[in-house]
Structure 1
Amino acid sequence: MRPPVAMLALGLAGVIACQAASTPSPSVSQTPPPSATATPAPGSGTPSVTLPSREGRCDMRVSESFTLANDLTCEKDGMVIVADNVTVDLGGHTLTGPGMGPQTWPLPQLDSVGVRVGGHTGVVVRNGKTTGFSTGVYFVDETASTIENVTTERNRFGFYIHASNKNVVKNSDVEFNIYGLHLQNSDDNLLQGNLLARQTYNSPGGYGLYMYASVRNRVIENTIDSNINWGIWFSEAKENVVFHNNVIGNSPQVSDNTEGSNVWYDPTTKEGNYWADYKGKDGDGDHIGDTPYPILGPGGMVDPYPFVEKDGWTKKRRATIDHYEPAAPRPARGVTVVALAGGSSWSARPTDARATLRLPDVSQIALGTDERTVYATSGKTVLAEDIVTGEIRDRSAYAVDGIVAANRDGHSVMVVGALGVEQRDLETGQAEFFSYSGQPKSLAPSYKHNHVFVATPRGIDLLYLNLGGRTPYTIPLDGAPTAMAMSGSGTRIYVGIVGQRIVDIVDTEQYAVVDRISLDSEATSLALSPREDVLYVGSGNGVVAITIRDRSRVASAAFLGSVADLAVSPNGDELFVALAGLSHAIAVLDAPGLRVTNVIELDSDPSRILVASY
């Protein structure tokens, strides 16, 4: 019997979107990443065999190999392949659909599909074009199958490879779609020799290649060019190998949120990719830059062997001269704790007995992306204070009264209120206003998109900071939030729920609660370790440290006062606890053991604490 997800692929498109999106993530293998010369996946060989020619019709069910003899213009699907080991040669013809259909991200858009295949093996789709569909070609639960020499353009999704393994996408053009080549929960696939170019923007679209929760894939000899957003975007994608690709003119070029997992070069030949914005030099003439190319994202990855010219691997005639040296460990940083208490901001070093007043008449504080600038609101004025020197770097009046946060672009500050949003670029002084009418309780600016996640009593609003501001979706939660903390990689938000002993775990790219952590009491505050492996939960009873992987309790600590807020030091070795009620203080604990090492006194109850570092 065909697996349920494949049956749905051949039936109701609306149902498959829900079923396929719920496919569980595969377990991550602990084996080393595949080598550059790994044998191509089954189905990658497509020998030239003459197939019988036949006229096609829209929404045809295909169970035998053939060559298409005509173009098709369809109101729904072009064709659906319903058997194993079928080759469909499109014969250079074009399948044209009824249009992209509405936005469904993060679910697949399956209102109309050029070629739909599900639950089969050994299928080949080649030599033609799909345009104007919700999805150009859709593989779901597919194994050892191939897309070759297919152009897909002006669809919402170009190619969508979903819960599919050991497939090949090669020598194909994916252009002018909203979303380019998309791999979701798909492993051990080969992407080779494709053009992924000029995808258009409909946030979070505009990417050339996106991998989500997909492992051990190989990305080789592709040109990823002029996509309006990311050229390559990896999220929860691990053990993938990427080399001999031309990455040109994307904005940004690449993003990878994993640490030490994906390999951005061929380990055998020590050859990476061509990045058009690479600024390094080739001092020894081996066509490889002498300094690494940084991969955007919190993982801190690099391509250590970037080429200095397009298709450089075709011109290289000798072995790479290895100049790469991994970055030295970052030295320990100084730490200052900043607290909002009694309508003023206060600061202290972790060993101080008492906090020092910094700024009076303050209602909100937020930390800048440089980790040493603190933004403080006084009425509708936002001050930018260097916590090390005490210098007020900027003092700007805002028209909006609300919650302050630093945009992750590193130079903009926003204030989000019930009557709108104002964002100001501190480098240019330019202010932008965006429409918003929610009830913001806390903010988490997105790492990748030009939007901010806003915790409200009805869920988490996706507030887009473009096109005048819009809130297209609210992520439903299990109740009103008490506290919210985003992971450093930006892919998870942890949310405490009013009146419930749980923490909702929200996937910021799937826009959904994907898991929950059970607690002994309602959470009042949350903080995540820098390595994203331990969640600290504050409550009326104290603090508990919980591992993300298996939900085990590492340690706990009880206090006389209630826990108002939590913050973790940059290297994760200290936890700071804002205590209110019976205590007016900041407790300093070692982490994750939660042994109290100091108590910093305050004059009044703290409501917010930050950790600045330098």
Structure 2
Amino acid sequence: MFPSREGRCAMRVSESFTLANDMTCQGDGMVIDVDNITVDLGGHALTGPGMGPQTWPLPQLDSVGVRVGGHTGVTIRNGKTIGFSTGIYFIDMESSTIENVTTQRNRFGFYIHASKKITVRASDVEFNIYGLHLQNSDDSLLQGNLLARQTYNSPGGYGLYMYASKGNRVIENTIDSNINWGIWFSDAKENVIFHNNVVGNNPQVSDNTEGSNIWYDAQTKEGNYWADYKGKDADGDHVGDTPYPILGPGGMVDPYPFVEKDGWTKKRRATIDHYEPAAPRPPRGVTIVALAGGAVKAMRPDASQPGDLLAGDSRNVTQIALGTDERTVYSYTDRFVVAQDIVTGNATTKRSLTVDGVVAANRDGHSLMVVGPSGVEQIDLETGQNEYFDYHGRPEALAPSYKHNHVFVATSRGIDLLYLNLGGRTPYTIPLDGPPAAMAMAGSGTRIYAAIAGMRIIDVVDTEQYAVTDRITIDVQATSLAISPREDILYVGSGNGVEAVAIREKKLASSAAFLGSVADLAVSPNGDQLYVALAGLTHAIAVLDAPRLRVAHVIELDNDPSRILVASY
């Protein structure tokens, strides 16, 4: 036990004590100034003035329940932090602990920043915008916590978020009913995650690293409980007989998922190991779709000539987009949109639109949006219902987010964050090094690559940090971009040809020159071919072996192509 002491707001703490009273503060609750100290909140609550305005990607520090920076051996335990910008904030900390603390209705529950060897144990993190957040923090233990019901104020709604953090252990936590991701790892590597209950999040998990994080305990061959796991336990060892897939570009899995909550406490015998790495998927069928001279053309990669996708009277198409099912093509013509299944050829009735602009499919699988200077229109192609949103930017390209009704819009001033669920509000524009000439989002949704007009540079944007986090120098001024399915190669089109750049090494891997300029690029979902839309001196689609960029075939067109898509099945 430590001496009991009355607390006051914004108090500076230099010795261990037990808090004797609740506190309601208009700023910070307390600031810890020394190493090797324990603050026992004594079951009391620190209540703040509210979460404050959005500051993402920076931490919100207008008011902090307990603020500590640059110290070691600090323990905070046994109490509550409610209604602050951040419940507890650690920065540049080492070998410190948060234990048995409830943090609620803050913008950030716990924010662990640039720290190492931190323990967060037996704490409840609920009803915040962000739950438990690790930023550039390593070798920590997150154990036995409840990370539940974080609310949505995009960006937000996450139970556990790790950015550029490695060597952490995440065990025995319940991550439940967060309105957005339960677990999101962005450039977080060499972490071990097992014996967690992951229930009712939307979606459950995402990991954008390839083969780095381990989603099970290697010694016991025990993973996590995922409430949406569809596999069976035929041998009765409480562990599913098939792996649970982890969303992300690396094809990661939890090979030993439990079939019931807290299954590791009920297990009485060793895991019967059924896991085998998945066999390679058979190559998917591919149809190239090109917009050329106002007509939509469709062709197989080995075709001698293209065919018309739409009926003969649809000759003034200005935009095409691919649905999230990767087989539905949307064609925009005279303020009508037509959806057509590339496999069956079936086309829906034309749907009328009033906004003219850039077209993209929403991630919900049944809506199309048009973003232009006069506003945004979204149409549900199943019901025909239209929605309108206020927006006055001048879009060059769109990248719908994996978050509900959130769109990245490339404009001359940067990348606008357009929130359709907020009536079209654009609360933030991601600054770039100049106007973007081309933009492409990685398949995992965690990175956007923006080619800067008039410069030989690609800005790499982290879609959670809402900031340029890296840059790739190239040899050309890019006109178009495409990303390989494994997200390891960036294809760059220019007025002279195509380059393949290894993303991790930032080095040129191969190149190909053409007489025509490159209007657009698309990659096969199998990763083995690159499709190049050539305009100017040549009207054609060039089919290249990828990533070596050797020309395998050329399909001649009657007109310059302006857009190219790849439908697959």
Moved more, 250-259 or 358-367: 250-259
CA distance in 2, matches of 1:243, 1:411: 36
8 A contact 2:438–2:451 mirrored in 1 = yes
CA distance in 2, matches of 1:414, 1:433: 10
State the Cα distance separating 1:123 from its structure 2 match: 0.9
Match of 1:89 in 2: 40
What SS does the corresponding residue of 1:87 show, helix, strand or coil? strand
Percent identical among aligned pairs is: 79
Q: 1:12-31 maps to which residues of 2 (within 5 A)?
A: none
What SS does the corresponding residue of 2:229 show, helix, strand or coil? coil
Match of 2:252 in 1: 301
State the Cα distance separating 1:354 from its structure 2 match: 2.6
Change beyond 3 A, Cα 1:256–1:412: farther
What SS does the corresponding residue of 1:144 show, helix, strand or coil? strand
Q: TM-score, normalised by structure 2?
A: 0.95
State the Cα distance separating 1:483 from its structure 2 match: 0.8
State the Cα distance separating 1:220 from its structure 2 match: 0.9
State the Cα distance separating 1:466 from its structure 2 match: 0.7
State the Cα distance separating 1:430 from its structure 2 match: 4.0
State the Cα distance separating 1:239 from its structure 2 match: 2.2
1:233 matched to 2:188: no
CA distance in 1, matches of 2:349, 2:365: 14
CA distance in 1, matches of 2:486, 2:541: 23
Letter of the 2:95 counterpart: A
Is there any run of 5+ residues in structure 1 with no aligned partner, and where?
A: 1-49
1:380 matched to 2:380: no
What SS does the corresponding residue of 1:167 show, helix, strand or coil? strand
What SS does the corresponding residue of 2:9 show, helix, strand or coil? coil
Identify the match of residue 219 of structure 1 among 148, 155, 170. 170
Match of 1:325 in 2: 276
Identify the match of residue 467 of structure 2 among 512, 519, 526. 512
1:406 matched to 2:361: yes
1:290 matched to 2:241: yes
State the Cα distance separating 1:449 from its structure 2 match: 4.6
CA distance in 2, matches of 1:591, 1:292: 30
CA distance in 2, matches of 1:276, 1:334: 33
Match of 1:58 in 2: 9
CA distance in 1, matches of 2:559, 2:545: 24
Letter of the 1:308 counterpart: V
Q: TM-score, normalised by structure 1?
A: 0.88
Match of 2:551 in 1: 596
State the Cα distance separating 1:429 from its structure 2 match: 4.2
CA distance in 1, matches of 2:242, 2:542: 44
8 A contact 2:249–2:486 mirrored in 1 = no
Change beyond 3 A, Cα 1:188–1:394: farther
1:553 matched to 2:504: no
8 A contact 1:569–1:611 mirrored in 2 = yes
1:343 matched to 2:294: yes
8 A contact 1:385–1:394 mirrored in 2 = no
Identify the match of residue 425 of structure 1 among 365, 369, 380. 380
1:402-428 deviations in Å (ceiling 9; x for gaps):
222122233322222222222233344
CA distance in 2, matches of 1:246, 1:264: 12
Match of 2:402 in 1: 447
What SS does the corresponding residue of 1:352 show, helix, strand or coil? coil
Letter of the 1:416 counterpart: V
1:606 matched to 2:557: no
Moved more, 110-119 or 366-375: 366-375
Match of 2:488 in 1: 533
Identify the match of residue 485 of structure 1 among 426, 440, 445. 440
Letter of the 2:366 counterpart: H
Match of 2:52 in 1: 101
CA distance in 1, matches of 2:357, 2:323: 17
8 A contact 2:363–2:404 mirrored in 1 = no
CA distance in 2, matches of 1:282, 1:546: 44
1:352-411 deviations in Å (ceiling 9; x for gaps):
333223233211111122222211111122112222332214532223222221222333
What SS does the corresponding residue of 2:448 show, helix, strand or coil? strand
1:160 matched to 2:111: yes
Report the RMSD for the aligned CA atoms in angstroms.
1.8
1:172 matched to 2:123: yes
CA distance in 2, matches of 1:212, 1:113: 21
Match of 2:517 in 1: 562
Match of 2:393 in 1: 438
What SS does the corresponding residue of 2:421 show, helix, strand or coil? coil
What SS does the corresponding residue of 1:145 show, helix, strand or coil? strand
Match of 2:152 in 1: 201
Letter of the 1:268 counterpart: Q
Letter of the 1:63 counterpart: S
Change beyond 3 A, Cα 1:364–1:269: same
1:75 matched to 2:26: yes
Change beyond 3 A, Cα 1:480–1:244: same
1:315-339 deviations in Å (ceiling 9; x for gaps):
1111222333332211112222211
CA distance in 2, matches of 1:481, 1:403: 15
Aligned length, in residue pairs: 565
Letter of the 2:100 counterpart: N
Moved more, 167-176 or 327-336: 327-336
CA distance in 2, matches of 1:333, 1:285: 36
Identify the match of residue 577 of structure 1 among 532, 555, 569. 532
Is there any run of 5+ residues in structure 2 with no aligned partner, and where?
A: none
8 A contact 1:576–1:588 mirrored in 2 = yes
CA distance in 2, matches of 1:79, 1:159: 15
CA distance in 2, matches of 1:77, 1:89: 17
1:465 matched to 2:420: yes
Change beyond 3 A, Cα 1:324–1:430: farther
State the Cα distance separating 1:341 from its structure 2 match: 0.8
CA distance in 2, matches of 1:429, 1:194: 45
Letter of the 1:574 counterpart: Q
